[in-house]
Every structure is written in C-alpha cells, then in structure tokens.
Amino acid sequence: MFVLGEQEGAIRMHCLRAEDGQLQWSQVIAYTEVPMDRDASRRWWPAQVALSGGVLVCPTNIGLLVGVDRASHEVLWVSRYADKSKDDQNSIQMRRGGYVMTNPGTIKDRWFPTPPMVINQTIILAPPEERMLAAYRLSDGKELWKITSEEGGLYPAGSFNGEFIAVNRLGMMGYEIATGNKLWERRFQDFTDANYGDTLLPSGRGLISGENYLLPMGGNEIWYFNLKERKFTGRAGLGDEDLKLGNLIMSRGRLISAAPDRVIQFDPKDDVEAEIKTRLALDENDYRALSRQAQILSLEKNYDQALASLNKVDASKLTGQDQQFYRKQMQDVLFGLVERGGEKKEEYLNQLAGYVKTDRDQQRYLRLLAQFQIETKQFAGAFESYTRLSQFGGRELVRDYSHPSLLVRQDVWLNARLQELWSESTGEVSSQISQFVSEMSWNAIQSNDREQLLNVIRLYGFHPDVIDVYIKLVELGTEEENFALAEYALKSLQQFEDPAVKASALAGRADLLLQFGLKDDARFEGTKLKEFDPTLVLLDGLTVQEWLEEHKITAEEPTASRHQSNWSDTEYEVSHMGISQWNQERGTVNLDAGKAPYFRQHRFQYDQQQSRLTVFDNQNDQVAWSIPLQQMDQAPAGTVLPVRIQGHLMTLYSRGLVQCYSLPDRRLLWAHPVSRQSGAVGVTNAGKEPLSTLQKAKSAQSRFRLNQNRNVYGPLVLNTDTTVYYLGRNELIAADAIDGEIRWIRRGIPRGAMIYGDESQLCIAPPSFSQASVVDARDGRTLESQDLEDLLNKGIAITGERVITVNRNDGASGISLQFGDKKSSSIPVQKTHVIEGRSLKTQGAKWSLPIDEDEYVGQIDEHRFVIIELNGLVHVHDCLTGELRQTIRIAELNGELAKLKELFVFLDGPRLYLLANDSTNHATYLNIFSQRVNGTIYCVNLDEGELAWSYETEKLNLVLEDLDQLPVLVLAGTKHEQKHMLYVGSFQVVILDKVTGKVIIEEELLNQNQVQRISWSEHDKQISLHAYNSVITLQPKRNVAKSEVKIE
C-alpha cells in the first residue's frame, strides 16, 4: 500500500505492507517551507497516489507532481505546475509567523481532490490547489498540455473511446487526451427529462459502467449518461426521501454509495431483472416478482407500467408485511401518476384516497386534490380540501412536488393557495370563505392568545375580515413592549386597499414610535398622513385632520427626513500627532439604511476583532446600544458587516449567522445559520460597497450586467415588511421577519446568482441567464415568464416587476426635443437608443423613452433612474412608470459631458452627488476604501430642483468608509516624489461640507506612511485619519477669541 506523508517539511512516499501496515520503505519526494499544520488548505486536500507501468505518480498539493520508480524507489522525474511566486509568497508569510490558507472564496472554485488518472501513458491531473487541468507523459513527466480557463470543474470522471471525461457544475465534458481540446459538452439543464426546478448539481462522484456513466444527482437520483451517444438517457430515483447518494463505486458486481453519513448497497439491476423474468416464467402472477418489477419501474419513473404490474397482484391474498409493502408501492405509484398529470388524474386521485393513512401522506394527498379542484374550477371542493389541510397544524416544511427543489412551510403554501382561491371565487364560495375566516378571527380575538392570533394571520392574513386580528396583535405587542410584533401587524395592515385602514396603520406606527421614545421618527411617519383626505375617518374615529392637529403636525412640515450639517459654521485646524502603536483597521458597515430620522441621528460602528456592533447617538457621542454579535464556531469574522434595514428592524450577517434585531426596544429577535455545515462553508461574504456608475447608453447593456456578482450585502438578499430573504449554500431561504421561522427553501441556486425583487416576486439571475427564473416571493414557486434570458441580457436594472432595458432605436420612435440654450428654440432630434420598462413575466413594454448613445443613464435608488443629456439636463424618472419626476439643469455639464471618462453617482437624503472624472487614473493613492476623483463634484438638491454647489477637485480620492453617515466629504491622497535623491511622501486632505459645498479645510502635510483608517465624531465635529504611527486630526480651533459684543 502506498501513501504520502509529511514530517518536518519533508513530503515522503511510504510503502506499507498490506497485511499489517508495517513500513517497508520511504522516499523523500519534495520539501515545503510551510508545514501542514500551518497550511489549512492542504489539510483539506488528500494527496492520492496512482500506479501505472511501474511508476508511482505522486501529487503533492504544493505545485509539484513527482514520479517514483516502484522497484528502485528512486525519483524518476519532477514536474512543476504552480506559479513559483505563490510558493515564495507563502514562504515569506510563513517566516513572518503567518498562517497560510487559500482564499475560501477560491476553494469552492477548485477541482475536488481526485487521484491522477493514467490513460494510454498520459497522466491527467486536476490539482485542488490550482484552477487547471493538465496532462503529463508518464515516462518523463513532460507537460503535454494545460487548460487554465475551465471554471466550475468538479472532478475527472475517467476515459471512454480515447476521450477524457470530466464533470463540472453545469454538466459533462469530453476532451481529446492527446491535445486537451474540448470535444463536446452536455449541460444538465438540456436533459429533456429534467424537471424545471430540479437541483441540477451532482452529489458525489459517479462511475463508468459499460457505455454509461452513472451520476448521482441532487442527493436522491442517479442519472444515466450514454458515453457513446454523448447524451443523458435516463434517471432513476431512490424512492426514499431520507436516503442520500454520495460517491458511487462498484464492488463485486454491486453498486455502493458512500455518503457522509451512510453507506448504501444496491443489488445489480441485471441480476434482479433476471430473477424477475425467471419467477414470472413459472408464475405470471408471482407477487414478489411483480412487486420487484413495479419497484424498478417506479424508480425509473415509468409509473404506467409499474401500475400495470401492481394491478396483476391479487391484493386480497396478501397479509402482514406483504400487504403493507404492496400498499406502499401502490401509493407511491399513484402519487407519481397524479403529480405527472394527464387525463386520468381524477381517476388516480380517487384510487389514491384508499391508500393514504399517515398524516404526512394525507396532507400530500389533500394538496394534490385541491390543486386538481382548482384546475377544474371546483372551488367549493378546493376550499373544503384546504380547510381539512389546515387542521393538521402545518408548520413543518413539505416538498412541493411540482417544484422538486422547493421546500415550503405548509401554512405558507396554504396561505398562497387560499388567497388565489378567494380572488378567483365568486358568489356562494366567496361568501363561504368570508364566513369561515370571520369565525376564525372572532375565536382568535376572544382567546387573546398571541399564537392563535398569529396562526389566523399566517393562513388568512390577506382577507379583510382579519383586520381586527391585526389590530388585536398591535395591542398585545404594545402591552408586552414588543415593538417588532406591533410594527409587523401595522405594516401588514397597509396591504389592504381601504384608505381608512392604510391611514390608520400609518397613524398607529407613529403612535407606536412615540411610545418607544422616537419622537422624530413618529413625526416622520405622521407627516405621511397629509397625503390622505383630511376628512377621512380613521378606525379609531378621528379624522385625518383631527389626528394631525392632535399631534401638532402642520401642512408646511416636510415629509422627508432631513440632516442639516452645521460643520461649515465653524473654524477648524489640523493637527499631526505621532503615536507609537499600530491602529488596527476597523471593520466596514455596509448599511442599507432606512429613511427614518433614527438612521441620521445614529451611526453604526463594527469591531471585527470583538465581533461587536455599536450604535452611537450622534448628538452626544454616547453609546445607544452595544451589540455582541451572535456567531458560529469555526466561522471566520469578515472585514465587512452587511446590514439591511426594514422599518426599524435590522438584519445582519456575521460569522455564519443571519440575525435580526429590533432597534427601538434593543432586542435580538432571532439568529439562523446560513449553512448546515461547519464554518458556513459555501456562503459568500460581503464586499465593500463601491459607488454606483452612470454609463453611456451605447455601452449600458455590457456595463450593467444583471448577473455581475456585487456582494455588497453578502448572503442578505432582501427585506420586506414580513419576510427576510437570504442565501445559504446553493439555496435561497425565506424567513418570517418577526421570529425567523423558515417560510420556504429553494435549493439548486447557482453560486454567484443575483436576486432581485420585492414582496410579490423574485428574479433569480445566475451567471448563466439561461438558468434564470422568476419565483413567487410568498411561497417560492416558479412563475411563468417569457423569453427571460433575452430580457435579462438587455436589462440594466430590475425594480419590482419592472426590468429596465436599453436597446438600439428601431427608427419608428425616438423623436425627442433636444434643448440647447434657454434662448434658443427646441430642436427635434432622432435618438439612437430607447430605454424601456418591461414586464418581468411577459416582456411587454410598459413605458418607453428615447435616449442618445452618448447620453448617460443609471439607477440612483430602487425607485428612480436618471438620464443626463449632453447639454447638462438631468432628468429624474420613476422606474415603475417611466414618468418624469423632475428636470434639473447643470449648466457646467453643457459640452463637458462628452469629454468625461467616468461618471459616478450617490444619494444622501435629498441630495444627489455626481462625480465627473476627466481621467481613469492618477498618481495619488489611499489605503482607505475610496474612489478616485479628478474632475468636478456636483451636488444637486432634489427638493429644490437645482444645482446646490459644485467643486473642482485635484487628483485625490473620495473616502467611501461611512460615506452615507459622515456629514462631510473627505478627499485625500498620498503621493511620493523624489527630492534630492530621497523619496518624500506628502498627504493632502480636503474636507467639504455636504450641504453647502464649503471647503472646511484644505491641507498638505509631510507624511511617509499610508492612512489606514478613519474615525469621526459629529458631536465634537472631529475627524481623525489614522496611519501606522501617526494621526491626522481635523477639529474646531481652540482658544479662538470671541468678538466683543457691542452695546448701544
């Protein structure tokens, strides 16, 4: 037996005696400066030996492949395939005491460790430490070819007819062994028998059996790939959801699956079929033969023939275990036939009713029965089936058999179906539903039990007769001082079309915020009532006008949150202080902040070492709340903390856990692991948030790719008033916002997929748009959508159900008025492109606007986008309707826009900032996360509809850390110049007031070290820039003499 081992930096080939494991001989084949216990990645990867022609082929997982003579024990050859600079870097890091580990984000993209394959004197190697596939000559180790562009590789599968076969995440591929040229590729999604929504990912290594490759898929199926015809030809299920397939091997004619938690042995199909044939030849009604035949046919999803075999059995003669086995088979076959559909669906349902016994099977049957009744317009029967189904409780996750990759909580599934039934039904059925819901609501209110109230809402929360249940839940939440519960109920009330209910929900939210001491937020919510008719009567009997007067909210009071900076009213100075300690870089908070005043009055700071989020009150710099973040064992801390806000609930991801907090009452609501594996394996951490860009229309499609992975919020996908959506390991998860209970899980989500949407639907845009889908946000079902791949390829943004696209103008439309100087007349021009808002489901255009190829376009928030004409006119449009909200003229951009190299944009309350760069690079740099600026910064006041200020900047860098929270813009940069044979470093900083654009400070200092971190205090009006051994601080001038007060 030959194994590789490592001791004191030496990697050795060991030969062990098979009988007792005694060492026979060993040979050093390589050395490493980074020992195994300090290289975490190599500890994940086994180095497996191959033997062919007397040569032991030894991978080392350090970039070397070694050939050893089996007889003489000598090293025959050594081939290097890794970049030596990487080894050198690891060595340097190791000598400094570092811990070497490959980036976890790249580990997922490597080949799984497999032994080298020797095919016709050619070694095929797919090493785990390098993203490559290579071939070497067995005799001397010479490299024959190498492929480094193949992504998503899983494992080499073997050879057939002179071709090398490999499996990747999308399908199977064949290569020419001599040259490495790819000969063919077959994708899983192209298999005609694959169901839409299948988990199209192998669950282990397959094996070659004759002309077929047996591939374990999705954990519970084997797919058959005909290597001769180069196509998938069949699939077979296990028939037991609890069994999961792993790596397949063949031993003594038996197929064996080795999964992480179990080993399963299967009888050879040929032997079983031969036995069946023999028994049926003796007795055509042989029960055991017919039942085994039906079992095989059922696993291959050939349900019609399986039923025919079972119908030959005389069930009346069966007893005991035989009878139970027969009934179970009959039930499984009938379930398969019903789920497949067809003309006999009703007949099969009637038969199935006699076989279901367990609660689980009865619930599955009732779901299928109700589905059939809806299809055939039997609404009364469907409501009866749903009512029976609701009596089971229904809080566990069940499989939606029309979408195999979907698990949905039963009450969530019921809620969606009942809502559809109620919207489609009329007359007696509609009255029957309303009466039943009214009785359930009354009983829940009388019980005064929170769980019973929530159960009614979970099932019937869409119905108007549940409004009183929501109100009762608000009262309970208020009594218990449970802000999240009360806010959830008030937000849910806003789904109803009745304006009195909508207005009452807003008034209730304002009162709730007032009770928890958030006066400014209460007024912010209350001012929204001015949009309603003043005479409208609220549910508590007050009119809107009376409520506004009672809360002293006037008609002139602004409805938007304001953040007025007064930094420009103070004189400042800069101090440069040397220190003798290293300033550790603080973590970054990617905050998807709400619009409420709370998020202007507080700032969020993340300490990644302590795994703590601290909320500071900006008025006094006091700690409002210091939160020790929940964490999983072995999950690393990220440098970026993604935070999403919905209302006053804060959802964040830290160290393997999605966790939700209520800010007003400072309460942890729930925390869930994003992966069932240790250390949150397979979950993408967040990256720092760059500035959004505006692009010319002619290049918008290529620059605004909807499947470009922008991991600003890591696994956090979307927050709505009722639901939190997040990504796990190849799955999308929906959880209740108030308690974190899982609503549904959709598996088989490709890595790198972007998720867009709102509370009604989600669009899953994976790296390959051909796999894109639209799903119902309520229960995760796939929704029909036409030509989705083509639509997404043209898209530049998605807002709710609307996809914004940019295309070449067909000439039939696109005449627009181009405005020049105000004194000149308007001139009609032909626009070269058109920007449209299209339906995500139908592709139909809902609105269309002409745009010229050199005009800039881009989204500024989830509801608005801008078009900037070459003459400096900035048009702000509504994403949903395309309507023009306002037009603002920036005269300075007239004639300059065409010269720009880059145009960035960001919002801060009512102010829109444009960063117009004249160049794509310059000489100053900054170690803080930043964006280069070398042109003009424009600030547009959207409330006033005019340019507030502009500033022409030198070649500096805009600090992006805390950009949305800082009351100022910080521009800074370091450059080194050679003076008198020495390199001298200088640091320049310019600080602008966000509101007025006034230059608060402009300073240039000698500074050799890079600035690494920024800290600030709004209360003290102080900003500190921290370098390795110094701090540069901006603060108000001290000892400034006050002017004498003149007395007349």
Could you read off the pLDDT of 199-239 as tens digits, one per residue?
A: 568 888 999 988 899 999 877 788 999 999 999 988 887 76
**How far apart, in whole angstroms, are the C-alpha atoms of residue 225 and residue 163?**
15
How many C-beta atoms surround the C-beta of residue 703 within 10 A? 13
pLDDT of residue 239: 65
- Buried-exposed string 660-675: b where 16+ CB fall within 10 A, e elsewhere: bbbbbeeeebbbbbbb
pLDDT of residue 579: 67
pLDDT class of 808 with cuts at 50, 70, 90: confident
Listed in sequence order, the residues at least 6 apart from 877 whose beta carbon sits closer than 8 Å to its beta carbon are 849, 864, 865, 866, 867, 883, 884, 885
Mean pLDDT of 313-324: 88
**How far apart, in whole angstroms, are the C-alpha atoms of residue 996 and residue 994?**
6
* More confident position, 577 or 144: 144
Token representation of residue 38: 């300090």
Q: Which CATH class is domain 596-688+710-751?
A: mainly beta
Token representation of residue 919: 């160049």
Token representation of residue 887: 């037009």
Query: Kindly report the CA angle at 483 between 482 and 488, in degrees rounded to 5?
Result: 110
**How far apart, in whole angstroms, are the C-alpha atoms of residue 255 and residue 269?**
9
Are the beta carbons of 754 and 709 closer than 8 angstroms? yes
- Of 630-639, 667-676, 835-844, least confident by mean pLDDT is 630-639
**How far apart, in whole angstroms, are the C-alpha atoms of residue 22 and residue 15?**
8
**How far apart, in whole angstroms, are the C-alpha atoms of residue 218 and residue 235?**
11
* More confident position, 959 or 729: 959
pLDDT of residue 706: 75
Burial of 332 (0-12, 13-18, 19+ CB in 10 A): buried
Q: Any idea of the CA torsion for 208, 214, 217, 220, to the nearest 10 degrees?
A: -130
Phi first, then psi, for residue 445 (nearest 5°) are -65, -40
612 forms bridges with which residues in the sheet?
607, 628
Token representation of residue 991: 């600080």
Are the beta carbons of 828 and 850 closer than 8 angstroms? no
Phi first, then psi, for residue 884 (nearest 5°) are -80, 120
pLDDT of residue 829: 60
pLDDT of residue 3: 93
**How far apart, in whole angstroms, are the C-alpha atoms of residue 833 and residue 836?**
10
pLDDT of residue 846: 93
**How far apart, in whole angstroms, are the C-alpha atoms of residue 415 and residue 387?**
11
Mean predicted lDDT score pLDDT of the chain: 85
**CATH number, domain 181-266:** 2.40.10
What 1002-1010 contacts at long range (C-beta under 8 Å, 24+ apart), as own/partner pairs, is 1003/574, 1005/574, 1005/576, 1005/1032, 1007/576, 1007/974, 1007/1032, 1008/984, 1009/985, 1010/925, 1010/926, 1010/927, 1010/974
Are the beta carbons of 126 and 133 closer than 8 angstroms? yes
Q: Which of 101-110, 252-261, 859-868 has the highest mean pLDDT?
A: 859-868
**How far apart, in whole angstroms, are the C-alpha atoms of residue 147 and residue 169?**
17
* Sheet strands side by side (includes 207-209): 207-209, 212-217, 221-226, 231-237
- Of 146-155, 295-304, 676-685, least confident by mean pLDDT is 676-685
Are the beta carbons of 113 and 46 closer than 8 angstroms? yes
127-140 pLDDT per residue, tens: 888 888 899 999 99
Token representation of residue 496: 């109803």
Helix (H) / strand (E) element for 232: namely strand 231-237
Strands 640-646 and 588-592 come out as: parallel
Helix (H) / strand (E) element for 84: namely helix 84-95
Q: Residue 451 carries which DSSP code? A: H
Token representation of residue 949: 């200020």
pLDDT of residue 591: 85
How many C-beta atoms surround the C-beta of residue 324 within 10 A? 11
Q: What percent of the chain has pLDDT over 70?
A: 89
How many C-beta atoms surround the C-beta of residue 693 within 10 A? 14
Listed in sequence order, the residues at least 6 apart from 322 whose beta carbon sits closer than 8 Å to its beta carbon are 287
- Quickly count helices (H) and strands (E) in the chain: 21, 65
pLDDT class of 682 with cuts at 50, 70, 90: low
pLDDT at 394 over 80: no
Q: Using alpha carbons, list the distances in angstroms from residue 52 to 58, 121, 163, 558, 959.
A: 11, 8, 18, 81, 59
Query: Kindly report the CA angle at 742 between 736 and 746, in degrees rounded to 5?
Result: 115
**How far apart, in whole angstroms, are the C-alpha atoms of residue 725 and residue 714?**
12
Listed in sequence order, the residues at least 6 apart from 12 whose beta carbon sits closer than 8 Å to its beta carbon are 4, 5, 6, 26, 27, 28, 29
Token representation of residue 673: 């692991």
pLDDT of residue 977: 77
Are the beta carbons of 794 and 783 closer than 8 angstroms? no
pLDDT of residue 817: 43
**How far apart, in whole angstroms, are the C-alpha atoms of residue 116 and residue 66?**
11
Burial of 441 (0-12, 13-18, 19+ CB in 10 A): buried
pLDDT at 668 over 60: yes
736-770 pLDDT per residue, tens: 999 999 999 998 888 788 899 888 999 999 888 88
Token representation of residue 744: 């549904």
**How far apart, in whole angstroms, are the C-alpha atoms of residue 188 and residue 204?**
15
Burial of 998 (0-12, 13-18, 19+ CB in 10 A): middle
119 forms bridges with which residues in the sheet?
122
pLDDT of residue 565: 57
How many C-beta atoms surround the C-beta of residue 442 within 10 A? 14
Q: Using alpha carbons, list the distances in angstroms from residue 399 to 136, 367, 406, 439, 779.
A: 47, 11, 6, 30, 11
First-to-last alpha carbon distance for the chain, in angstroms, is 106
Residue 239: helix, strand or coil by DSSP?
coil
Q: Rg for the chain (alpha carbons), in Å?
A: 34
Listed in sequence order, the residues at least 6 apart from 1017 whose beta carbon sits closer than 8 Å to its beta carbon are 621
Phi first, then psi, for residue 534 (nearest 5°) are -60, -25
Mean pLDDT of 91-98: 39
Q: Tell me which residue has tokens 């994940």.
A: 44
Phi first, then psi, for residue 330 (nearest 5°) are -60, -40
Are the beta carbons of 1027 and 1010 closer than 8 angstroms? yes
Closest-CA residue to 65 (of 148, 165, 164, 132): 132
Q: Which of 43-57, 527-541, 587-601 has the highest mean pLDDT?
A: 527-541
Mean pLDDT of 119-129: 89
828-865 pLDDT per residue, tens: 567 889 999 999 888 899 999 999 999 999 999 889 99
Mean pLDDT of 907-918: 92
Q: Using alpha carbons, list the distances in angstroms from residue 846 to 633, 784, 839, 840, 885.
A: 50, 18, 7, 11, 17
How many C-beta atoms surround the C-beta of residue 477 within 10 A? 21
**How far apart, in whole angstroms, are the C-alpha atoms of residue 1009 and residue 196?**
57
73 φψ region: left (φ > 0), alpha (ψ -120 to 50), beta (else): left
Token representation of residue 931: 């964006």
**Segments making up each domain of the chain, as ranges:** 1-151, 181-266, 268-357, 567-588+917-937+951-1040, 596-688+710-751
pLDDT class of 814 with cuts at 50, 70, 90: very low
983-1040 pLDDT per residue, tens: 777 888 999 999 999 999 898 887 767 788 888 888 888 898 888 778 888 888 876 5
**How far apart, in whole angstroms, are the C-alpha atoms of residue 900 and residue 917?**
6
**How far apart, in whole angstroms, are the C-alpha atoms of residue 998 and residue 471?**
50
pLDDT at 685 over 80: no
Residue 168: helix, strand or coil by DSSP?
strand
CATH topology (fold) of 1-151: Lipocalin (2.40.128)
pLDDT of residue 824: 40
pLDDT at 704 over 80: no
Do the first three CATH levels of 181-266 and 596-688+710-751 match, i.e. the same topology? no
pLDDT at 192 over 70: no
820-829 pLDDT per residue, tens: 444 444 455 6
